[in-house]
Amino acid sequence: MNPPPAENSPRTALGRFFFARETPYGMALLRIVLPLAAGVPMTMRFPFVRELFTTDGSPVQLFEMFRQGSVLPVLTPAVAVPLYGIMLLCMLTSIVGFRTRTSLWVTTVLYLYFNALDGVGTLTKYSVIASHMLLLLSLSHAGSVWSVDAFLKKRSGDVNVLPPRFPVWPARLVQLLFAFIYFGASITKIQTAEFFSGEQMRYWMLSDWNYENPVGEIVAMSSPLLLISAYLSVIWEVLFAFLVWRPRGRIVMLGAGAMFHFMTWLTLGLYVFPAICLSGYLAFVSEQDILRLRRISVLRPIRAAIRLPALAVSRVADIFPQTVPAGVVWICLLAAAAIGATEAELQMDIYQSRSEAGLLKLMPIDRDIALTMLRDKTPVREHDKFFNFEIGTSTIGYQLSNRRTDYSVGDTMIAQCNLNPPHEDMWVECLLQDDEQRTIEQFGQFVPRESLRANFFYTVDSKLVAGRYSMVLKSANQEIYRRHFSLSGNSTPQIFDVSTN
Amino acid sequence: MATSRNHGRSAMTRLKSVLVIAFIGAYLSALSFGTVAHALKVGLCGNTLSFYVVWDMFCGWTAWDARTHLIAEGASGQYYDVRAPWGEFHPFGHLARIHHDNTNDLLPRHIQNVLRHTAHEPIDRVYTIEEVWPKQYNLPPGLYDEHFGRPNDKLSYYHLRAVFRDDGTPMSIYPDWHAKQKLQAVYDNPRLRRQSANATSLFSTLYNPSQARAGSTLNTSMSAGLSTN
C-alpha cells in the first residue's frame, strides 16, 4: 500500500525545488512549441537531404571539425531520407502529443544525429539548445496534458477529472539550462575584446550573414546605443540565474530575456535562435500560472479557441475504432512518413540525375572575371583601412557619443577615426583647415596595429574667427575624410604685438 | 486520500529516484564543466562534446565581410563557377553553405560533390578565392551618405586561398586574407626581416641526441648556408 502523498513530499528546499509535484503545463507548452520552432528549419532542409546528410552529398561532421575523425556513420540516401522523414513526422506527433514519449525520443536521437552530421550548415547553437530541451522533454511527462495521448487515455475510461502531477525536475533542468546558457554567454562577451566598446556589435549588425536587419544597420551607427545595450545584456545574463526563481525576479528576467531575443531578431536578422529560446521560456510556466490564467475572465474566448484542436482530435480519433491500438497507428504513420519522404526526395531529384537531359552543366564563368579574381594583387586602399571619421565633444566608453557641426570658442573638439582591423602600424594626421583649405593646425600620431581608433583633441581658441572650417583626416599623405564645422562667436580678428630682438 | 491527485502511483521507486538524482547530477555537472572550462579555457581543445555545453555564441566578428568563390579551370582553359547548379542551400540567411565553412573542412567535399554531379569537361584544378570588403559598404545608400559623407566606392579584394584537384585533394593552401594582412604588417619591418634571414631555419633538425648516441654521423643539418648555434 502506498504511503499518503504528504509523507512523500520532499523535506528540503533543494528536494522541493526538484521534486515538488505539479501538472507539467509548462513542459506541455514547450512540447507544443519547440518542435515547431526546431522543425521549420529542418523541414526547409528536406529538399537538400541528399546533399547535406548522405554519402551522395557533402556532409561535414562536427567531430571532423574538432579533428576527431568521422565518428558518426554517414548513411546512404536510401536509409537517411526515410529517417529524415520519420524525424519530421515525430516532431509533428510530439506537437500534438501522440505517442509523445516515443516520438520525443525518436526526434531527439535523429535531431542530434542529423545536426551533428552537418557541422557547417545545420548545427549551430540554437540546434544545440533545442537538442538539450528535446532530451529533457523526452524524460518528462510532457504528453500527459494537452495531448492526443491524454485524450485517448480519457476515452479509454480513465475517469480521473484532475490532471496528473509529476515531479518538476525536467522543467527545472530546462530552467537551469537557460541559466547556464546566459551565464556562459556573458563569459564569452566578457572575454571578447571590443565588445564593451561597441565594435563587435557594430560589425555583426553590418554583416550580411543572416536575414535582413534594417534596424540593426541604424543601431550599428550609434555608439552610445551599442555600449549601453552591451552592458545591459551582460548584466542581465549574469543576474538571470540569481533572480529568475524569485517571484518578481522571474517576471523581470524573463521579460528582459524576451526583449533581448526580440532585439536579436530586429537588429541581427536572427529568426530561429530567438524562436527556440523563447519556446524554452515556456518551461518557466508553472501550475499556479495556468490556474491564475484560467481565472481571468477576459481570456475565456481564447480558452474556447484553444479547445478547437482538442475537438478536431476527437473527430479524427473517432475515425479509428478504439480496438486499433494507438501504437499500431503510430507505426503506420512512421512507415507512411518514411515511404513518403523517400518518394518525395526521389521526385525532387536534386541532382537531376534521372532527368532526360542528364546531369546539369557546370556554369562557365567569363575568363576576364575569373582572371581578375585569380590575379588580384590590389593593395588595400588607404581609406578602406578606416571605418569612419567623426567630430564631436564627448565620448562614452572611448567612442564618440555625439556628432557636432557647430562649435564655440572654448569647446574641446574630439576628432575620432575608427579603423578596420587588421591594419599595419600607421601614421595618421589630422589637419584643421579654413574654408579656403589653408592649413591652420596639423597634428599627427602613430596608430599601432592593435589600435581600433585614434583621437585628436583640439580646444577651439580665439585664434580662430567665426566661419566655416574643416577637420581633415590624412593617412599616407592621402586625404581620407573631411568633416566640416562652423565656428560661431566673435568675428573680430586677434591682433598680436610682435616683438623683435 | 481525497487529496491524492496522482492516481495511486505517486511515489517513485527507490531505483527510479536514484537514477533521476544521478541524471540531474550528471547533467548539471556537464553544464558546470562547460561554463568553467570556457571561463578558464581548459579541457576544450579537441573535445567535440564540449560544443554542447560551451555557450560561446558571439565570440567575435571582423570588420571585413567575406565570401568564398570556387573557380574550376578546365582542360580547354575555360573557367567554371563551381556552384551547385541545382540550387544552393542557404542555412542561416541568404548566404550559401560554403560561405559558412570557417574551418575549410567543407571545401574539398563541396568541390567533389559539385563536380561529381555536373556535366563538364575534365577539370585541371579548382581555385578557392576569398573575396573581402569593409563592412561599412553594406549600409544602405541613405545611411551611408548620412554617416560617411563620401562616395560608396566599394571595392572587393580577392585573395587566392587554396588550389585543389578535381577530386578535392588540396594542392596548395595559403593563409587566409586576415592572416596574410597580419603577417605582412609584421614582415614590413626591416629589422625583423634581417633577423629572420640570419636565423636558423625553423624546420631543420640540427642535432639528434639519440642518433648521436647510436653512433650515427647523420645527425646534423645538411642544408648549406645555415648558421648553427
| pLDDT beyond 60 at A53 | yes
* Among A121, A189, A425, beta carbon nearest to B97: A121
* Among A177, A187, A207, beta carbon nearest to B39: A187
CB spacing of B11 vs A376 below 8 angstroms: no
DSSP state of B27: H
For strands A467-475 and A426-434, give the pairing. Answer: antiparallel
Range of the domain at B206: 197-223
Q: What is the spatial distance between Cα A288 and Cα A329, in angstroms, rounded to a whole number?
A: 35
Instruction: Please indicate, yes or no, if residue B189 is contained in any of the structural domains.
Output: no
Q: What is the spatial distance between Cα B14 and Cα B19, in angstroms, rounded to a whole number?
A: 9
Residue B116 and residue B19 in one domain: no
CB spacing of B55 vs A352 below 8 angstroms: no
Cell numbers 512512421 correspond to A334
Q: How confident is the model at residue A320, as a pLDDT? A: 64
- How confident is the model over A210-265, as pLDDT tens digits? 888 889 999 999 999 999 999 999 999 999 999 999 989 999 999 999 999 999 99
Tell me the chain B residues in contact with residue A426 when contact means C-beta distances shorter than 8 Å: none
> What is the 3-class SS of A429-478, one letter each residue?
EEEEEECCCCEEEEEEEEECCCCCEEEEEEECCCCCCCEEEEEEEEECCE
CA distance A82 to chain B (A): 20
- How confident is the model over B53-84, as pLDDT tens digits? 999 887 668 899 999 999 999 999 999 999 99
Q: How confident is the model at residue A322, as a pLDDT? A: 67
Q: What is the spatial distance between Cα B136 and Cα B148, in angstroms, rounded to a whole number?
A: 9
Confidence bin at A492 (pLDDT 50/70/90)? low
For the residues of A227-275, what is the DSSP string, one character each?
A: HHHHHHHHHHHHHHHHHTTSHHHHHHHHHHHHHHHHHHHHHH--SHHHH
Residue B115 and residue B211 in one domain: no
| pLDDT beyond 50 at A2 | no
Residue B70 and residue B173 in one domain: yes
Q: How confident is the model at residue B8, as a pLDDT? A: 44
Residue B75 and residue B162 in one domain: yes
Residue B72 and residue B173 in one domain: yes
Residue A185 CB: number of other CB atoms within 10 A? 22
Tell me the chain A residues in contact with residue B117 when contact means C-beta distances shorter than 8 Å: 351, 353, 359-360
Percent of chain B topping pLDDT 90: 63
CB spacing of A388 vs B136 below 8 angstroms: yes
CA distance B199 to chain A (A): 24
| pLDDT beyond 50 at A23 | yes
Interval A391-413 mean pLDDT = 92
Average the pLDDT over each of A26-30, A252-256, A304-308 and give the range with the smallest value. A304-308
Q: How confident is the model at residue B227, as a pLDDT? A: 40
Nearest residue of B to residue A372, measured between CA atoms: B158
Residue B113 and residue B211 in one domain: no
CA distance B102 to chain A (A): 8
Residue B76 and residue B164 in one domain: yes
Interval A288-297 mean pLDDT = 86
Nearest residue of B to residue A68, measured between CA atoms: B46
Confidence bin at B149 (pLDDT 50/70/90)? confident
Domain ranges of chain A: 18-344, 384-488
Q: What is the pTM of this model?
A: 0.89
Instruction: Please indicate, yes or no, if residue B160 is contained in any of the structural domains.
Output: yes
CB spacing of A66 vs B158 below 8 angstroms: no
Interval A131-159 mean pLDDT = 91
C-alpha grid cell for residue B198? 640570419
Q: How confident is the model at residue A128, as a pLDDT? A: 97
Average the pLDDT over each of A59-73, A129-143, B202-216 and give the range with the smallest value. B202-216
CA distance A177 to chain B (A): 8
Task: Say which residues have a Cβ less than 8 Å from residue A49's Cβ, sequence separation at least 6.
Answer: A77, A80, A81, A84, A345
Q: Name the residue among B97, B81, B100 with its Cα closest to residue B89.
A: B97
Interval A366-373 mean pLDDT = 95
Q: How confident is the model at residue B211, as a pLDDT? A: 77
* Among A59, A209, A380, beta carbon nearest to B93: A209
Q: How confident is the model at residue A156, as a pLDDT? A: 80
Greatest alpha-carbon pair distance for chain A in Å reads: 119
Residue B116 and residue B160 in one domain: yes
Tell me the chain A residues in contact with residue B61 when contact means C-beta distances shorter than 8 Å: 200, 203-204, 207
Residue B70 and residue B118 in one domain: yes
Tell me the chain B residues in contact with residue A162 when contact means C-beta distances shorter than 8 Å: 5
- How confident is the model over B8-49, as pLDDT tens digits? 445 558 899 999 999 999 999 999 999 999 999 988 777 899
Mean pLDDT of chain B: 86
A384-488: which CATH topology? Immunoglobulin-like (2.60.40)
Residue B171 and residue B142 in one domain: yes
CB spacing of B105 vs A131 below 8 angstroms: no
CB spacing of B81 vs A363 below 8 angstroms: yes
Q: How confident is the model at residue A462, as a pLDDT? A: 84
Give the torsion through C-alpha atoms of A352, A355, A359, A361, to 10 deg: -90
Tell me the chain A residues in contact with residue B138 when contact means C-beta distances shorter than 8 Å: 206-208, 217
Tell me the chain B residues in contact with residue A41 when contact means C-beta distances shorter than 8 Å: 91
CA distance B157 to chain A (A): 7
CB spacing of B86 vs A363 below 8 angstroms: no
Interval B87-110 mean pLDDT = 93
Picking from B94, B98, B109, B117 by the largest number of A CB atoms within 10 A of its own CB, the best residue to mutate is B117
Nearest residue of B to residue A61, measured between CA atoms: B105
C-alpha grid cell for residue A217? 544597420
Q: How confident is the model at residue B205, as a pLDDT? A: 63
Cβ–Cβ under 8 Å, residues A462 and A410? no
Confidence bin at A10 (pLDDT 50/70/90)? confident
Q: How confident is the model at residue B224, as a pLDDT? A: 45
Q: How confident is the model at residue A3, as a pLDDT? A: 39
Q: How confident is the model at residue A5, as a pLDDT? A: 46
Name the domain count of chain B: 3
Q: Name the residue among A398, A381, A386 with its Cα closest to residue A472.
A: A386
CA distance A316 to chain B (A): 28
| pLDDT beyond 50 at A1 | no
- How confident is the model over A444-486, as pLDDT tens digits? 999 999 999 999 999 998 889 999 999 999 999 999 999 999 9
H helices of A61-213, in order, are 62-65, 77-96, 100-117, 125-138, 148-155, 169-191, 199-206
CA distance A42 to chain B (A): 10
Cβ–Cβ under 8 Å, residues A169 and B20? yes
Residue B128 and residue B210 in one domain: no
Residue B172 and residue B206 in one domain: no
Q: How confident is the model at residue B212, as a pLDDT? A: 79
Instruction: Please indicate, yes or no, if residue B161 is contained in any of the structural domains.
Output: yes
CB spacing of B157 vs A63 below 8 angstroms: no
Interval B148-177 mean pLDDT = 93
Q: How confident is the model at residue B57, as a pLDDT? A: 81
Percent of chain A topping pLDDT 70: 91
CB spacing of B58 vs A189 below 8 angstroms: yes
